[in-house]
Structure 1
């Protein structure tokens, strides 16, 4: 044990008689409070981890890591095989449909392809993408987009479907309404000859284009169909619904209408007049279901169709969508 006198001497570094404490004396004072050297060695050896246990933990960690890598490689290989097989299957199916069903720019062939269907939609809609062809060449992308619009219009008119709505997110087709109408008319003439269907092209909040047809140019026994085409964009979706809500709110504040007058039927009628009516079938010419801001109110009961692992406008996708619609059961919540 260390006494009080030795403790005071250690802290003050002075002897009781005033002499300074030498280093050897301080070391002797410290040794009295330190544990024995043999006990310290035994404690260190007993508390230190055993080399054998540490090696086992290292080996187990490496083993678990290898197992995880093997499982990851197996899952990745299986998933890659599945994707490749699905892609190959769809490529073969697309090729078969392309060979069996090709329009040859002949309306009779298209009518023959849809003749066996139990029913046809009266209003179809398609979603097209301006940048699906060439993201770096705006002129080429616009030209290809117009060509796709013309072909879809020709297929729709040949199938006997009277209403077509074309959605393009940016709305660039609205800026070339006259040129688009001219291109569609030329494509219809390449299908029908000198007596193409009468086409009406319109866009929300813009003046529609519907040139009158002289009855003298038609033969007596010919009744070519009439096609109504509507061009819409993302501005005709939620923005139109917001504008309609503001209009109803202003009318309610001015006491022109009451809350009981704002019904679902009224909203549906106003949206149909402002944009379009609800289509029976929506066709996506892409591998994924991406609506890209399509007006949501017009898709409550619409049948949506797309083909996996396929990109681009094709006649066989259009025909398969009509077959899918013909087989669909409209239960309407029942």
Structure 2
């Protein structure tokens, strides 16, 4: 036990350090009874903090150069392969252009399509207005060439889509250009097919054939306004008719909308008895859609007209080797017909 004298001295703070240790020693546990703990190894944190990562400039330089070399070799090999393919397709196109040249002779064109299993009754073409000084004249000449090829091949209906709709503003001039082009193919006017040219919300420009067996060509001009804007106008018309009680909302069905859109697009304005203009009609959905370009781009083409249409891009082989890949050429026209003749029409089966 601790004596009373030590306690008094502890209270009066007269004890030395050894006396304090002696005083509290009986109250401390035995060191042998305490669990032993493993002491962590001493680490020199200061030295580790001062240690810097090892620099490998030579290895880094070699690695970057290897990556650049592999990248360059890949591009060189890929470029050589692409150029070889472009040259091959360009040569093949030139050979086809020589072998299958029409020479503005309907008999040669009929001979080229004679062996095809089927021909489209309605051919549609997407053309672009180029950024040139005489772009409009070139565009109308391309339309005239397509009209002559279609008439010679026995395709009765042709529709031409041009996004801006510039062709609609010069229908009489276009009709004259196509008539002149047909004269260069057929010769006398009596042998030329009857041409009917019109656009949505425009009257027919041309006449009807006097003989039902006489060949005829119906040409329809389309633009981007015949797509979304036509749908908007039809929606407004149906909404007004429903509000006025002329049409029940239950009668507005997808079939009705489809029928109305097809009629708006493919039917011209009614003929005027005073002017003597005639009306024409065209099959709503084209059988074949030709895109004269480097890639497949509908560019705002009315979507409800191409649900069952076979599409073919004429510039997918040239890869830009021949100009911009948008030139209207006879071999591209024939390749489209060959593609359509060999396509399988499953219609969802």
**2:177 aligned residue (183, 187, 203):** 183
Unaligned regions of 5+ residues in structure 1, if any? 1-41
**1:301 aligned residue (288, 302, 308):** 308
The CA deviation string for residues 129-186 of structure 1, in whole angstroms up to 9 with x for no partner, is 111xxx241xx11111111010000000001111000011111111111000011011
Aligned mates of 2:115, 2:255 — CA distance in 1 = 35
Q: For residues 120-131 of structure 1, what are the structure 2 equivalents within 5 Å? A: 120-131=119-130
Q: Specify the alignment match of 1:314 in structure 2.
A: 329
Q: Specify the alignment match of 1:112 in structure 2.
A: 111
Q: Tell me if structure 2 keeps the 8 A contact 1:305–1:321.
A: yes
SS at match of 1:305: strand
**2:228 aligned residue (238, 243, 255):** 238
Q: Tell me if structure 1 keeps the 8 A contact 2:196–2:208.
A: no
SS at match of 2:125: strand
Q: Tell me if structure 2 keeps the 8 A contact 1:105–1:190.
A: yes
Q: Specify the alignment match of 2:27 in structure 1.
A: none
Q: Specify the alignment match of 2:77 in structure 1.
A: 78
Q: Specify the alignment match of 1:93 in structure 2.
A: 92
Q: Specify the alignment match of 1:168 in structure 2.
A: 162
SS at match of 1:249: helix
Tell me how many residue pairs correspond in the alignment: 279
Q: Specify the alignment match of 1:28 in structure 2.
A: none
Q: Does 1:332 align with 2:347?
A: yes
Aligned mates of 1:120, 1:178 — CA distance in 2 = 29
**2:49 aligned residue (47, 56, 79):** 47
Q: Does 1:289 align with 2:287?
A: no
Tell me the TM-score normalized by structure 1. Answer: 0.78
**1:204 aligned residue (200, 204, 207):** 200
Aligned mates of 2:264, 2:181 — CA distance in 1 = 28
Aligned mates of 1:254, 1:68 — CA distance in 2 = 72
Q: Does 1:273 align with 2:227?
A: no
Aligned mates of 1:271, 1:212 — CA distance in 2 = 25
Radius of gyration: which is bigger? 2
Aligned mates of 1:286, 1:81 — CA distance in 2 = 23
Unaligned regions of 5+ residues in structure 2, if any? 1-43, 267-283, 319-324
**How far is the alpha carbon of 1:292 from its aligned partner?**
1.2
Q: Tell me if structure 2 keeps the 8 A contact 1:238–1:296.
A: no
Q: Specify the alignment match of 1:263 in structure 2.
A: 253
